[in-house]
Amino acid sequence: MTAKLKHIYIFFLLIIVSLLVYIVYNISQQGTTSTKEIEFNRVDDYNEQLGNVTKISVTVYNKDTINHNYTISSFVNSIVFSSDTVEVSTDMPYTYSVMIPIEKKYNADNVLIVDPTHSINLTVYRDDSEKPLDQIEFKYN
């Protein structure tokens, strides 16, 4: 009788250990796959000539099974500052970076003028979609 109980005890211990391993594995997998498809990052800095500048990066993670074209556009004071379209594969993220002056800018004659930035908008589109996949706005006083 005690040999039978011993086998049952070992069997239940194996089931409990297996469940714990399964739970820990699933928790660790969720932590590594919880990245958003679009991540924005902003760093404020200072440049000797331009004064305050903002460096913004957008990282695109293609979580689909096929490659997609992503268009990332940046607008300063509602005027297009830059735009980039790139094909992003499923195995490598793509990072788009832009540095935008906040206080001073160069005009068309390459003369440095005081022209404050009030807002910066970034939009990300996938393929030919009319609705942005994600967007963000930074406001400055």
pLDDT in tens, 79-92: 999 999 999 998 89
**Mean of pLDDT values over 43-67:** 92
Domain ranges of the chain: 1-34, 38-139
pLDDT at 55 over 90: yes
Taking CA atoms, 75 is separated from 12, 26, 69, 71, 105, in Å, by 62, 41, 20, 13, 15
What is the mean predicted confidence (pLDDT) over 87-112?
90
Average pLDDT of span 15-35: 77
Residue 3 is predicted with a pLDDT of: 81
| pTM (two decimals) | 0.69
Confidence of residue 33 (pLDDT cuts 50, 70, 90): low
Mean pLDDT across 59-85:
93
Least confident span in 13-27, 38-52, 69-83: 13-27
**What is the tally of helices (H) and strands (E) in the chain?**
1, 9
pLDDT of residue 31: 57
Mean pLDDT, to the nearest integer, of 41-59?
A: 93
Over its C-alpha atoms, the chain yields an Rg (Å, rounded) of 25
- Work out the angle at residue 129's Cα, subtended by the Cα atoms of residues 40 and 120, and round it to the nearest 5 degrees: 35
- Residue 40 · residue 138 · CB < 8 Å: no
Whether 56 contacts 122, CB under 8 Å: yes
* Nearest by Cα to 127 from 91, 98, 101, 88: 88
Name, in order, each residue with C-beta under 8 angstroms of 88's C-beta and a sequence gap of 6 or more.
60, 62, 67, 68, 69, 70, 94
- Rounded to an integer, the average pLDDT of 128-140 is 93
**CATH annotation of 38-139:** 2.60.40.10
